[in-house]
Structure formats: C-alpha cells, structure tokens
Chains A and B, each alone.
Chain A
Amino acid sequence: NAGVMQNPRHLVRRRGQEARLRCSPMKGHSHVYWYRQLPEEGLKFMVYLQKENIIDESGMPKERFSAEFPKEGPSILRIQQVVRGDSAAYFCASSPGGDTPLHFGNGTRLTVT
C-alpha cells in the first residue's frame, strides 16, 4: 500500500514563473491537507480539501496561491508568479477523515532563483 506520493521532490523556478506541486493521497483517503515548512521552522497549515471541495483555505495566501483536488487525479497546489519568499518545503498529508491520523508525503522542495 503506497504512502502519500508527492512530486516533484525538488522544483526550481525563476521569479515570476509558475510552480505546480502534485500530491496523490494514500489509497482510500479522501481528505488532503497542504503544509509549508520554512528552514528551521514548524509546519504551517495552508489548505484542507476533500474531493472537489475546498474545506478550509485560511492558511493560504489570498493571492497567487490556489489548490484543487479533482474527482480524478492528484491534488494540485499552484503558485503563480513565484517570489523568493515562496522557497520552502511543501508537504501534503492525507487521511480518511475524522480524527484519524494524517499521513505525510516526503514533500516538494521549491527553490525560487
């Protein structure tokens, strides 16, 4: 049973480009959470999605950032017009819902040059 799969593992973008981060949840999991981690810091909640619905996006910047979890396919975190401050590790977690444990992927490390 594969865990949470994130790709790419590393992504380099120049300022102004778009970054697309993909997350395939564990089999049977319909809840996806995205987190951002800056060096030497904890994980900051960004957005919580269920299939085809955004449940809570209170941690996501209102501009340039968007997320989706379509009926078919992986969840996508999209960052438009990236800036140097977007450089971070982005982690996705999934769960079957309710107070069940969140399982994390190994993250995508975004570097903006």
Chain B
Amino acid sequence: GENVEQHPSTLSVQEGDSAVIKCTYSDSASNYFPWYKQELGKGPQLIIDIRSNVGEKKDQRIAVTLNKTAKHFSLHITETQPEDSAVYFCAASSSNSGYALNFGKGTSLLVTP
C-alpha cells in the first residue's frame, strides 16, 4: 500500500519568515495530494491540493509543488503569521484505494511573533 513520509515533525519560524514542509510517497499510482491544517481539538481542514497533472499550485501565501518523478511534494507558506501555528498533514490517494487518503505523520508548525 501507499506510504507517506513527512518532514520535519516540528518546525519553528519567526513571524514573516517562510515555512516549508516536505513529503514523499511510494505508490506511483497516487495522483491526488491534499494538505490539511489541524488546530487543537478540531478536525483537519483542507488548505490546498494538487493533482498529478500539475507541477505547482498557489493560493495567496500558500503554494504546493509536486515532483512526480521523484515522488515528492512540498508545502510552502510565505509571510507566516501566528495564526498559521497548527499541525499540517500531507496526504496521497489514488483511484485504486477509492481515494481514501494516506496521511503523513504531521508537522507541528509554531510561528513566533
């Protein structure tokens, strides 16, 4: 089955700096890669996603890149703000699994003022 690795497990940045989180996946059939943000006591919220026919996608301060050949994808957050502090999860899925998501173990991001 699919195995998703995520790094780093914790990340601390100063407000205004950029944050980068990286993930790798093992199943070459995976073709959908969402990123979720989870705040304490809440469920994961989708913040951005990318499909395998696209190499990069941007939404305001958030961008995601995908390298299908190397089987890795990354989340970039620019101009970080304290409210960006949360746990971020990457995931991968394919039609083979009915689009059930396989998650990385998460990155705890702390943005200090």
Contacts and interface: CB of A to CB of B under 8 A. Distances in A.
Contacts of B104: 42
A25 interface: no
Nearest to B4: A42
Nearest to A109: B41
Contact of A45 (B45, B95, B102): B102
Contacts of A33: 100-101
Contacts of B31: 99
Interface string B35-58: 010000111111001010000000
A107 B43 contact: yes
B100 A101 contact: no
Contacts of A85: none
Nearest to A46: B100
A91 interface: yes
A18 B33 CA distance: 36
A45 B100 contact: yes
Contact of A41 (B45, B102, B105): B105
Contacts of A66: none
6 contacts: A31-B98, A44-B103, A45-B102, A56-B98, A102-B34, A106-B42
